[in-house]
Amino acid sequence: MMYTALNTQRRWLDFAARNLLRNRRRSLVTLGIAALGTAAILVAAGFARYTYTGLAEASARSTGHLVLGLPQSFEGDEAQPLEHGLQNWQALREALLAEPEVRHVLPRLQFGGLISNGEKSALMMGVGISPDAEFAIKGPFLTQKSGQLLSDGERGRVLLGEGLARSLRATPGSGLTLMASTAHGALNAIDVHVAGVVSTGVPELDQRLVYTDIATAQTLLDSSKVSSVGLFLERMQQTSVLQQRLQVRWPELAIKDWEQLAPFYGAVRQLYNRIFGTLGGILGLIVVCVVGNAMAMSVIERSREIGTLRALGCQPGPLIGSFATEGLLLGALGGLLGSLIALGLSLALMLVDVQMPPPPGRNQGYPLQLELTPLMVLAVLGAISLLALLSSAGVAVRSVRQPIPQALAHV
């Protein structure tokens, strides 16, 4: 009995496939519509996912997946520079590097003051870093405009933001003076040379930004402390688990994750949720209507064929199953073709540099890419196939139920 049922299903599947081949033009048009609908949804979803991932990675890359410091350093301004800085940060760094999830540990020293070329002074936002590790781990987070980047072992050199360099008429090799209050409340100044000029892509930040090595910054502030220590992990998914474990190990420290230190991330994500949600809903509705209409028309146009088969004694159930199978085949093949189109476009964008316009507040664009996952592709492929099946079956039910004379007279 089971063999008979399977044999019957094979016959109807073969019948559905033959019908698709018999009506090649109609089948190709419907197949193309399903493929374009699938590709459109995948491209939109892939771009949205890439945008979210890029935003999260940029936020984590700027500070680290986790940042350790004294609780007071995250709560407000300091009365004196490094008042709430970390003293024994080297030992802390070695202990953190022993954690299996930790890839790198980068100390940072934030300071403010004045920078002068002898004729003109400007406010600066200084950052002391470990140059070799900073640039190697974070990748191309700065655009090098001229000169060279900083390197370990070279003290008394700075990188200037593009706007600040223009304001001070400074070029690589120029001599400048940094002035700031020390950790003890005194005023200190040191002479430095410009190693290079860089841009962060944010014009307001480039007007004040100064990078130097930690040793030079500590000399200026007359302190051996650093402001905080940033942890870069093997995978972003490890952040919350490691944060809880480290908080138990060092209860005297405040441990913040990258999302807590990037309040703009939540605001931008909410904005993108509204934008992508609205556009995605409109696109999804269009795809549902177009694909559903195409599948319905392919059944309605064959009303006379349905009437003939009914007149020859075919029962409604097998006919509906046949049309549903045709819809499923067309939806699956169209979805597969659309998935291949989207994957091909994703690979092409990796090879060809297509730049998006700069977002608000920045003067540099970003590459257009698509982030497609197997789960995303399977979900869209399944949804298109199911939509085609239901559309065909729904219209077939109405067509099969109409009187045979009316179906035979259909034009």
State yes or no: pLDDT of 150 exceeds 60: yes
Q: What is the mean pLDDT of residues 156-169?
A: 92
Burial class (CB in 10 A: 0-12, 13-18, 19+), 247: middle
Confidence of residue 362 (pLDDT cuts 50, 70, 90): low
| Interval 336-345: pLDDT, tens | 999 999 999 9
Confidence of residue 139 (pLDDT cuts 50, 70, 90): low
SS (H, E, C) 96-157: HHCCCCEEEEEEEEEEEEEEECCCCEEEEEEEEECHHHHHHHHCCCCEEEEECCCCCCCCCE
Q: What is the mean pLDDT of residues 283-310?
A: 72
pLDDT more than 90, % of the chain: 24
Supply the pLDDT for residue 85. Answer: 87
Which of these, 212, 249, 224, 267, lies nearest to 98 by C-alpha position? 249
Supply the pLDDT for residue 329. Answer: 81
| Interval 34-62: pLDDT, tens | 888 889 889 988 988 888 888 888 778 77
Supply the pLDDT for residue 171. Answer: 92
Token pair of 76 as six digits: 């407000």
Question: Per mean pLDDT, which range of 25-34, 308-317, 329-338, 356-365 is the poorest?
Answer: 356-365
Token pair of 401 as six digits: 């139920």
Confidence of residue 397 (pLDDT cuts 50, 70, 90): confident
Contact between 388 and 334 under an 8 Å Cβ cutoff? The reply is yes
Q: What is the mean pLDDT of residues 355-378?
A: 78
State yes or no: pLDDT of 26 exceeds 90: no
Confidence of residue 2 (pLDDT cuts 50, 70, 90): very low
Supply the pLDDT for residue 36. Answer: 87
Confidence of residue 10 (pLDDT cuts 50, 70, 90): low
Supply the pLDDT for residue 5. Answer: 46
Supply the pLDDT for residue 406. Answer: 67
Token pair of 374 as six digits: 């197997």
Confidence of residue 367 (pLDDT cuts 50, 70, 90): confident
Residue keyed to tokens 């559903």: 292
pLDDT more than 70, % of the chain: 86
**What mean pLDDT value characterizes the chain?**
82
Which of these, 359, 52, 368, lies nearest to 201 by C-alpha position? 359
Higher local confidence (pLDDT), 264 or 378: 378
Provide CB contacts within 8 A for 236, sequence distance 6+.
Answer: 56, 57, 60, 65
Confidence of residue 170 (pLDDT cuts 50, 70, 90): very high
Q: What is the mean pLDDT of residues 84-111?
A: 89
State yes or no: pLDDT of 159 exceeds 70: yes
Alpha-carbon distance of 102 to 234, in angstroms, equals 6
Q: What is the mean pLDDT of residues 357-385?
A: 81
Residue 204 — left, alpha, or beta (φ > 0 → left; ψ -120 to 50 → alpha)? alpha
Token pair of 55 as six digits: 């935003």
Supply the pLDDT for residue 276. Answer: 78
Question: Per mean pLDDT, which range of 6-15, 177-186, 198-207, 238-247 is the poorest?
Answer: 6-15
Higher local confidence (pLDDT), 307 or 235: 235
Q: Residue-wise over 32-59: b if at least 16 C-beta within 10 A, else e? A: ebbbbbbbbbbbbbbbbbbbbeebbeeb
Higher local confidence (pLDDT), 368 or 165: 165
Task: Enumerate helices (H) and strands (E) in the chain, giving the number of each.
Answer: 13, 12
Confidence of residue 3 (pLDDT cuts 50, 70, 90): very low
Residue 245 — left, alpha, or beta (φ > 0 → left; ψ -120 to 50 → alpha)? alpha
224 three-class SS: coil
Higher local confidence (pLDDT), 100 or 394: 100
